[in-house]
Chains A and B, each alone.
Chain A
Amino acid sequence: MTDCGQFSEDYELYALGLLEGPEKVAFDEHLAAGCENCASQINAALELNALISSQAPQAAPSALLRQRISQTFAPAPAVRRVAKRWMFALAVAAVVVVALAAGWSYEHAARLRENAVAQTNSAELARLGNAFRILQAPGVKQVTFGPQPAAPHGSLFIQDRVGILLIAAGLPAPPPGWRYESWIVPKNGAPKPIEPFQADPDGPAMSLIPGPLTLADIKAIAVSVEPPNVPATTPTKVILAAPLGD
């Protein structure tokens, strides 16, 4: 192998791709022979070159370039945002229509809509989208529960492949910091927690039980209140149990 010394002043030019002629040929051959020292020196030269290049006078690209980068690498969120907006509007409208169809007052329906509109974060939009999918699913079955207005009352919208949507009103306010939790109550075995959710006192609330489900195995959908910072394993205080019906 040739001596490294003869290349000691060429590392930076080589790393820039600017070494030429016999010097480049000789250096290529030397590197091809596997000189680890020179490979290491080239790495250092790359670093120095990068630092020199970084001294270029500061210039600002147009705002359009950022848009182009966004469209090239991250277009989905923009598309999803539009889709979510539509899904959000449709879901809110559908839930209100369903609430009115279920015999609720306009005040309750309006409050449900306000709650939905207030929940503008993406997770809530996704929930509303899923609620809408259940309401629109073919063969969806509605089962009402708790006909007394003072007690928890509402509807289950049931579709085995898509899931179950629970819309309930008249839920007693939980103690401060506590939360509502929905449960699947199977015909055999222990209740299974589904999701924590919030609702205004006396206001309508919504919980989703995602499908697919084997409806024949489910006895009811229940709602409990649960203390803060404790994972739901068994219902602490059941406030509602809505049978699925036949």
Chain B
Amino acid sequence: MPVEHPFEEDRELIKRLKSRDGQAMLALYDKYGGLLYSVIFRAVPDRATAEDLVQETFLRIWNRVHTFEEEKGRLQGWLVTVARNRAFDYLRSVRNLPIQASARLEDLEQAGCFANKEASRDNPADKIAKTAAVRQALKGLSQEQRQVIELTHFEGMTQTEISEKLNKPLGTVKSLVRSALKNLRAAAREEGVV
């Protein structure tokens, strides 16, 4: 029995989205809506707001899908990035923080940034291995390291904001962030994630 290839399925979805098939958007939601909601809800733990942001995320995906190269793109990475950035934009706006960073973020949201040079390796087993490797690497961080990563990656806080929130010197926070990322990067590379 042939194993369904999620990457193939994603390619087909992207093709349908590019041909402006609204039903494909619903299929995309059915496949990734839960994940994107989880990412946004972790940053904005208010159900109604999070749902609004998910809807805005899907609008953004709809408007930018033409930039996606289905032959070499990694769909999930792109979707999560769009969702997370949407949540971060919202948090910056409610915190009355400058959102000029978003301009560059929008550039980085371009689907072409998620080109997969080794698309053939992106099979279900690899996907599970990557997720497990990152989860394991996160568990391996010290409590302080994990705390700063949660604040950067899940709550969109800059190092200065983290410094204020945790009442720690900026240098200490930078050091924690960098060491945490170094560990995550190394673990990810060991597993061939990046």
Give chain A's interface residues, CB within 8 Å of chain B.
9, 12-13, 15-18, 20-21, 28, 42-62, 64-66, 68-70, 72-77
Contacts and interface: CB of A to CB of B under 8 A. Distances in A.
B80 A59 contact: no
The 6 closest A-B pairs by CB, nearest first: A74-B22, A73-B25, A56-B42, A50-B77, A17-B101, A73-B22
B67 to A, nearest CB: 14
A77 to B, nearest CB: 7
Contacts of B55: 65, 68-69, 72
B77 A69 contact: no
Given A46-B77, A46-B108, A72-B58, A51 B193 contact: yes
Contacts of A17: 85, 88, 101-102, 104-105, 108, 156
A16 B41 contact: no
Nearest to A40: B117
A50 B80 contact: yes
Contact of A47 (B39, B58, B62, B77): B77
User: A interface, by DSSP: helix, strand, loop or mixed?
Assistant: helix
B134 to A, nearest CB: 4
Interface of B: 22-23, 25-26, 29-30, 33-35, 37-39, 41-42, 47, 50-51, 54-55, 58-59, 62, 74, 76-78, 80-81, 83-85, 88, 101-102, 104-105, 108, 113-115, 130-131, 134-135, 138, 149, 152-154, 156-160, 177-178, 181-182, 184-185, 188, 193-194
Given A16-B153, A48-B193, A57 B42 contact: yes
A50 B76 contact: yes
Contact of B34 (A60, A69, A73, A76): A60
Contact of A76 (B22, B113, B182, B188): B22
Contact of A51 (B22, B59, B104, B131): B131
Contacts of B152: 13, 16, 18
Contacts of B102: 17
B128 to A, nearest CB: 12
B123 to A, nearest CB: 16
B25 A69 contact: yes
Contacts of A59: 34, 37-38, 41-42, 50
B179 to A, nearest CB: 9
A46 to B, nearest CB: 6
B166 to A, nearest CB: 15
B37 A65 contact: yes
A68 B185 CA distance: 38
A125 B37 CA distance: 37
B108 A61 contact: no
B29 A66 contact: yes
A53 B76 CA distance: 11
